[in-house]
Amino acid sequence: MTQQITLAGGCFWCIEGAFKQVRGVLKAESGYAGGHRENPTYEQVCAGETGHAEVVQITFEPTALSTREILEIFFALHDPTQLNRQGNDVGTQYRSAIFYQSEEQRVAAEDIIAEMRDEGTWNDEIVTEIEPLEKFWPAEDYHDNYVERNPRNAYCQAVVSPKLAKFKRTFAEKLE
């Protein structure tokens, strides 16, 4: 039986591009969560009008990939100490958040954050929000596989490609 977890860690193109390569991930879909507007658009979310974060909803096979492993990858893909931003992407839509869909996911998220704090993994305080997923809104179709379809995009070349290259080196054994 598959599970889903929804993660926000800055621009969803980076998170989606990485998780689509992970063995055990059946689907990684960009979208929006954590806000107050129904059927938000990309423009509304980017303008900060909705309260939503850019997220990726990950559908995975828990016998092949644990929630813990997903969270380890997630925390390697972004800086969870940056409040409402990732690098030059600034605004609540770029916040770090875990939208859990089960008690097991909530506990796993709390445990890994506590461990990183105890071990001093990050120099600054971890600001990742942990909250139940109320509603996932899929992003517009043109966001699907955005990095693959737009390799010449300046943002993809400057920001996404270096992150994905580092990701591939770090998690080579988990990739398809």
What positions carry a catalytic annotation? Answer: 11
97 closest CA partner among 111, 123, 78, 116: 78
> 44: helix, coil or strand?
helix
Are 101 and 132 in contact by the 8 Å Cβ rule? The answer is yes
Encoded amino acid at 141, one letter: D
> What does the alpha-carbon distance between residue 44 and residue 46 come to, in Å, rounded to a whole number?
6
Terminal-residue alpha carbon distance, the chain: 20
Indicate the residue type of 171.
F
